Amino acid sequence: MLVIVAPGQGAQTPGFLTPWLEDRTFASRFEWLATVAGIDLVHYGTEADAETIRDTRIAQPLLVATGLVAALELFPHPADAFSMIGGVAGHSVGELTAAAGARVITAEQAMVLVRERGNAMAEAAAATPTGMTAILGGDRDEVLEALAGHGLTAANDNGPGQIVAAGTLEQLEALAAAPPAKARLMPLSVAGAFHTEHMGPAVGRLASLARSVSVHDPRTPVISNKDGQVVHDGQDVLARIVGQIANPVRWDLCLETMADAGVTGVLEMPPAGTLTGIAKRALKGVETFALKTPDQLDDARAFVQKHGEASPIDTSPTWRMVVSPGKGTFHQSAEAAGTDVLAPGTPIGEVATSRDRTRIVAAHGGQVVEWLVEDGDLVSPGQPLIRLHPEGSS
C-alpha cells in the first residue's frame, strides 16, 4: 500500500524550485497557480532568501503550488493515481495539497484558500510575538508536563522523539532555560505559534470562505492530521482543514493509521525530506521516497509501481461507500440495523478502541446494497463498511 504525503511550512529552502522550472510543462502549470494566488511564486522559489520565504504569506502558497504541480509530473494522467494510491496525508498546510490531490477541491480553490490562510495566519501571528521550538528526545510524559508548566501547546506531535512546542516568545525562553531532561531544543524558523489558540482569528476568516467552496468526496482516502482518522466526506475534509489552523497537528496518529492500514511505501512530495525522515524512525520496515528534484521522477514512478494498489474507493464510487475512519471494533447502530434505505446523516454505527469511540454516519444516505462487515467485526482504517446506492437512482 502506497501513501503520498505533503510537507508543511518549514520544508522550503532557497532556490529549491529552480530545477523543477527547467521543465516547460511544470513551469507553465506553476505560473498558472501562482497567477491564481496573485503571488510571484517563481521569484520566491528561485531567487528569494531564507528569511523572505519564511514569511507565512509566501511559504504556504509556495508549498501547495509545488506539491500540486509535482503530482501532475509524477502522474501525467491523474486517473492513474487513483488506481495506485492507498491514501494521502498532509502535514499542516500540506493538507490543502492532499485535499486537492484527492479531488476534494480543485487546485485553483486550494490556491485561493492557501493564500487567504497564509494572510490570516500572518495577521494573527503579528498580534503577539510568538514562535515554535522542536523538542527532540526526552521522555514524552516529561516533555508534555514541561510544556503544560510553561503554558505552551504541543502544536505538532510528530511521532517518537519529536514534539513541537508553541507559544509566546517569553514562554519559549522559559522552556529553553529549563528544558526537559535528555531533550534537545531547536527553535524553528516560523513566524508564529501555529496550531494554537493564537491562530483563533484566522479560523473565522477561513471558515467564512469555506462556506462558498464546492467540494467532492475524496477519490482517495484522506488521513486527517487532526486525529489520524480516514475521512471519506468532502465537507468533513474541508471543515477539518479550517479548524486545524488553531489545533495541534497529530502526525503521530497519522503514522499509526498508516501502520494499521498496512502501508508499505511512503512517498513525499517536494520539497521533500522532513516527513520521510519521520517515517523512517516511526514506521520500521516501511520504504520511503523523498521526491526532491525532477531527475528523480523515473525512480519515483518505479516506487509507485512497487507499492501502489487500488484503494476500495477507486473500485467503488465514493458516493456508494462508507468506510471506517480507523482501526477498532465495529458496532452497528440500531438506526441502521434491518433498514433498506438510510436518510442522509443516519448513524450506521461506531468504531471503538481502548482510547475512544468514533461515530460513523452515512453522509449522503441511499439504498442499502450490502453490508460489508457485521456487528463486532474488527476493522482497519479505510475499510469499506457498507455499500449504498443513491436513493431514487435506477
In angstroms, the CA 262 to CA 257 distance is 9
Nearest to 53 by CA among 69, 42, 67: 42
- Asked if 9 and 57 count as a contact pair (C-beta separation under 8 A), the reply is no
* Whether pTM exceeds 0.75: yes
Place of cell 477519490: 219
- Asked if 385 and 322 count as a contact pair (C-beta separation under 8 A), the reply is yes
The pLDDT, as a whole number, for residue 287 is 98
- Asked if 272 and 294 count as a contact pair (C-beta separation under 8 A), the reply is no
Place of cell 521522477: 297
Strand ranges (E), 204-356: 222-223, 230-231, 265-268, 287-290, 321-323, 328-332, 341-342, 346-352
195 is catalytic: yes
- Asked if 249 and 195 count as a contact pair (C-beta separation under 8 A), the reply is yes
The pLDDT, as a whole number, for residue 313 is 61
The CA-to-CA distance between both ends of the chain, in Å, stands at 34
- Asked if 234 and 110 count as a contact pair (C-beta separation under 8 A), the reply is no
In angstroms, the CA 333 to CA 347 distance is 7
CA distances (Å), origin 364, targets 313, 340, 387: 15, 14, 12
In angstroms, the CA 52 to CA 54 distance is 5
- Asked if 46 and 271 count as a contact pair (C-beta separation under 8 A), the reply is no
- Helices 297-307 and 56-74 pack at an angle, to 10 degrees, of 70
Count of beta carbons in the 10 Å neighbourhood of residue 214 = 9
CA distances (Å), origin 117, targets 62, 165, 231: 13, 21, 21
In angstroms, the CA 242 to CA 210 distance is 8
Domain made up of 2-124+197-313: CATH architecture: 3-Layer(aba) Sandwich (3.40)
Task: Establish how many alpha carbons lie within 13 A of residue 22's alpha carbon, considering only the half-sphere containing its beta carbon.
Answer: 8
- Could you say which of 92, 224, 311, 324 is catalytic? 92
Q: Per-residue pLDDT for the chain (394 aa), expressed as one digit of tens each?
A: 999 999 999 899 999 999 999 999 999 999 999 999 999 999 999 999 999 999 999 999 999 999 999 999 999 887 778 789 999 999 999 999 999 999 999 999 999 999 999 999 999 999 999 999 999 999 999 999 999 999 999 999 998 889 999 999 999 999 999 999 999 999 987 879 999 999 999 999 999 999 999 999 998 999 999 999 999 899 999 999 999 999 999 999 999 999 999 999 999 999 999 999 999 999 999 999 999 999 999 999 999 999 998 666 655 555 678 999 999 999 999 999 989 999 999 999 999 998 889 999 998 889 999 999 999 999 999 999 999 988 654 4
- Out of 3.30.565.10, 2.40.160.20, 3.60.21.10, 3.30.70.250, the CATH code matching 128-187 is 3.30.70.250
333 is catalytic: no
The pLDDT, as a whole number, for residue 4 is 97
Domain positions in the chain are 2-124+197-313, 128-187, 317-389
- Asked if 362 and 386 count as a contact pair (C-beta separation under 8 A), the reply is yes
- Asked if 63 and 8 count as a contact pair (C-beta separation under 8 A), the reply is yes
- Helices 107-127 and 24-37 pack at an angle, to 10 degrees, of 50
Radius of gyration of the chain (CA): 21
Tell me whether residue 298 is exposed, middle or buried, using C-beta atoms within 10 angstroms of its C-beta: 0 to 12, 13 to 18, 19 or more: exposed
- Out of 2.40.50.100, 2.120.10.30, 3.40.50.1100, 3.40.50.12170, the CATH code matching 317-389 is 2.40.50.100
Which three cell numbers mark 63? 508549498
- Could you say which of 91, 150, 195, 198 is catalytic? 195
